[in-house]
């Protein structure tokens, strides 16, 4: 099992678990609190413009549903996060924002009930609206951090106009300006290919299979398999190459089925780069 081509199926050893089964449903259920909370906010805006009984009733109807869907989403998110494949830092923010949605919805609902009992109360009315606003802000943040978790940060601006990208990136860092003109095999061919086709799962935000490809030490160490992924100078011992060369429909093919594969030129560049020492410069 030392060479790439002898790597056996690690999956067979995996244990079944209910949370691991339910976790991915987070990605589906999360659309409900998004829809319901947005609807509730719109109903409230309507109630502010037309303060009549029906408007209040509509909000009273939508809020508990919003809260219930938020609860289910948080519970599933908890199971999803257990897989341990996400960037801890981003995940922590996503978790705080997600729980924030739930709590603010819950309190908004309770406060709204109090408000319905005592429609004259200034405190209830504005307290409730403040809570609803807070829930909505948390929702936006949770959505943003969640998007970065699954697609990598910067996924929104991936295809932005070049001028906007330059603006967002800020002034170029010292290191990039100091590079020799032309650049190395790594900076010119290998890294751009990895960045485009691998970092979304093996970059700073997310490490699928606990494998990280944007730092040399982490790359050499490998991921879940616990075996080195790249052995500088030795193509046969470099499983990375094996994974990118597998037929597209193979379970272990990288990037996985459905994602844009490395082009033949890129694979050749990666091979040459490994032969020449797999340096990150």
Single out the residue of 208, 212, 237, 269 in contact with ligand HEC (rule: CB under 6 A). 208
Question: Least distance from C-beta 153 to ligand HEC, angstroms?
Answer: 15
Q: Which is nearer to ligand HEC, 144 or 221 (CB)?
A: 221
Question: With CB under 6 A as the contact rule, which of the stretches 27-35, 97-105, 133-141, 195-203 interacts with ligand HEC?
Answer: 195-203
Residue where the block lists tokens 């603006």:
167
Question: Least distance from C-beta 44 to ligand HEC, angstroms?
Answer: 39
Residue where the block lists tokens 């609807």:
39
Give the length of the chain: 281
The contact pattern for ligand HEC, residues 216-255, with x = CB under 6 A and - = no contact, is ------xxxx---x---------xx--xx---------xx
Q: Which is nearer to ligand HEC, 133 or 246 (CB)?
A: 246
User: Is 101 within 8 Å of 59 (Cβ atoms)?
Assistant: no
Q: Which is nearer to ligand HEC, 136 or 273 (CB)?
A: 273
User: Quick check: 149 binds ligand HEC (CB under 6 A)?
Assistant: no
Single out the residue of 93, 256, 271, 280 in contact with ligand HEC (rule: CB under 6 A). 256
Q: Which is nearer to ligand HEC, 88 or 174 (CB)?
A: 88
Say how far apart CA 154 and CA 199 lie, in whole Å. 11
SS3 call for 86: strand
In Å, what is the CA distance from 152 to each residue of 1, 90, 144, 163? 32, 10, 11, 21
Q: Which is nearer to ligand HEC, 52 or 224 (CB)?
A: 224
213 exposed, middle or buried (CB, 10 Å; 0-12, 13-18, 19+)? Answer: buried
Half-sphere exposure of 133 toward its Cβ, with a 13 Å CA cutoff? 7
Question: Least distance from C-beta 224 to ligand HEC, angstroms?
Answer: 5
Single out the residue of 262, 269, 274, 278 in contact with ligand HEC (rule: CB under 6 A). 262
User: Quick check: 211 binds ligand HEC (CB under 6 A)?
Assistant: yes
Say how far apart CA 30 and CA 209 lie, in whole Å. 24
Q: Which is nearer to ligand HEC, 125 or 197 (CB)?
A: 197
234 has which bridge partners? 231
Question: Least distance from C-beta 123 to ligand HEC, angstroms?
Answer: 50
User: Is 36 within 8 Å of 65 (Cβ atoms)?
Assistant: yes
State the CB neighbour count (10 A cutoff) for residue 223. Answer: 19
State the CB neighbour count (10 A cutoff) for residue 143. Answer: 16
Question: With CB under 6 A as the contact rule, which of the stretches 63-71, 106-114, 170-178, 201-209 interacts with ligand HEC?
Answer: 201-209
Question: Residue 68 contacts by C-beta under 8 Å, 6 or more apart in sequence?
Answer: none
User: Quick check: 55 binds ligand HEC (CB under 6 A)?
Assistant: no
User: Is 71 within 8 Å of 103 (Cβ atoms)?
Assistant: no
State the residues that interact with ligand HEC by CB under 6 A: 10-11, 197-198, 200-202, 208-209, 211, 222-225, 229, 239-240, 243-244, 254-256, 259, 262
């Amino acid at each position: 099992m030392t060479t790439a081509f002898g790597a056996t199926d690690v999956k067979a050893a995996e244990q079944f678990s209910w949370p691991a089964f339910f976790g991915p449903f987070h990605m589906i259920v999360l659309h409900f609190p998004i829809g319901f909370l947005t609807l509730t906010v719109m109903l409230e805006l309507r109630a502010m413009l037309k303060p009549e009984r029906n408007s209040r009733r509509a909000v009273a109807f939508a809020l508990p549903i919003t809260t219930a869907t938020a609860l289910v989403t948080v519970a599933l998110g908890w199971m999803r996060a257990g897989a341990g494949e996400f960037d801890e830092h981003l995940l922590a923010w996503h978790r705080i924002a997600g729980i924030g949605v739930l709590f603010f919805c819950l309190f908004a609902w309770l406060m709204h009930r109090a408000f319905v009992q005592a429609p004259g109360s200034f405190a209830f009315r504005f307290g409730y609206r403040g809570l609803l606003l807070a829930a909505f802000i948390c929702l936006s943040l949770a959505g943003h951090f969640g998007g970065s978790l699954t697609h990598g940060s910067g996924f929104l601006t991936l295809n932005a106009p070049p001028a906007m990208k330059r603006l967002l990136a800020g002034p170029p860092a010292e290191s990039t300006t100091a590079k020799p003109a032309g650049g190395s095999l790594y900076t010119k061919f290998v890294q751009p290919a990895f960045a485009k086709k691998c970092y979304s799962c093996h970059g700073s935000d997310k490490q699928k299979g606990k494998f990280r490809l944007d730092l040399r030490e982490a790359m050499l160490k490998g991921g879940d398999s616990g075996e080195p992924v790249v052995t500088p100078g030795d193509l046969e011992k470099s499983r990375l190459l094996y994974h990118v060369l597998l037929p597209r429909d193979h379970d272990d093919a990288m990037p996985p089925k459905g994602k844009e594969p490395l082009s033949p030129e890129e694979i050749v560049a990666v091979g040459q780069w490994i032969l020449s020492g797999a340096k990150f410069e």
